[in-house]
Amino acid sequence: MIPAAFDYAVAESAEHAISLLGEHGDEAKLLAGGHSLLPMMKFRLATPAVLVDVGRLDDLRYIRQENGHIAIGALTRHTELEHSDVLGDACPLLKHVASLVGDPSVRHRGTLGGTLAHSDPASDLPAAVLALGGTLVAKGPNGQREIAANDFFTGYFESVLADDEMLTEVKVPVATGGWNYQKFNRRAQDWAIVGVAVADGGAGVSLVNMGSTPLRASAVEAAIAGGASAADAAAVAAEGTNAPSDLNAEPDYREHLARVLVERALNAAGVD
């Protein structure tokens, strides 16, 4: 398929990108790695009139530890997360999950901010940021705001980002407890049929591909907080979810996978 015609602009800075978004409104889209947006354009699921290329903004590509959290520039690539010594010491869950995204070609182009802004419920990294209790920093013409990951995802490929805003940074707490990520898929590079991220010894648990957005497994977190065993907490993993039906699995099978994978992830994170 061939995308619809579009204009192309290269952003010289984050401020320049934001000004272009403000100028063109919902007719403009930001282009970073392109692995999500370009396929949608080829299938005419997205038809932006203007692409604003932000992939060359190196000042939004960093990983650093500061004041009890890790600050990550929105244009940091998956491969940089995967090989980060800072994350290896202070947030190994995010480092590990990044290593499971797609294949090397995807990880060398895809960016953390682009993945989060795309808001795909089948994506790995949004679930990790959710479980970690992360915060997303968005910047627009009216200034900067911080958005809790819990409040960011609103629907299938939808978020609270305004048309004239862009993500500039992601903040996650320094790891303080056991962690694990379980991903069930047919091939190593495939999207997860179901995935489970566990952070901070079970205080944060999130689910992949169990609804129209990445989901916190609130019932599991409440059970762990109340002293439940991993098995008992996993038994309520499907509560509050709305598992999709597709060629890979029916909802009942996804709910079964969620219970199995949550128990495995909790056990691996040190919850008996």
Give the pLDDT confidence of 147-172 residue by residue, as tens digits: 999 999 999 999 999 999 999 999 99
Which of the listed residues 173, 200, 232 is the one where a domain comes to its end?
173
Q: Which of 42, 81, 78, 51 is nearest to 63 (CA)?
A: 81
* Residues 39, 18 share a domain: yes
- Is 64 within the bounds of a domain? yes
Six-digit token string for 137 = 């920093």
- Tokens (6 digits) for 138: 């968005």
Provide the pLDDT for residue 23: 92
Domain limits for position 89: 58-173
User: DSSP label at 132?
Assistant: T
Q: Which residues of 60-98 are buried (b: 16+ CB within 10 A; e: fewer)?
A: bbebeeeeebbbbbbbbbbbbbbebebbeebbebbbbbb
Residue type, 59: D
CB atoms closer than 10 angstroms to residue 19:
15
Residue 1 reports pLDDT greater than 80: no
Q: What's the CATH number where 134 sits?
A: 3.30.465.10
Distance, in Å, from the CA atom of 174 to the CA atom of 11, rounded to the nearest integer, reads: 32
Any idea what the CATH number is for the domain that residue 259 is in?
3.30.390.50
pLDDT of the residue at 167: 97
Residue 220 lies in a domain: yes
Confidence of residue 41 (pLDDT cuts 50, 70, 90): confident
pLDDT, tens digit, for every residue of 54-67? 999 999 999 999 98
Specify if 1 maps to a domain. Answer: no
Question: How many domains, the chain?
Answer: 3
pLDDT level of residue 53 (50, 70, 90 thresholds)? very high
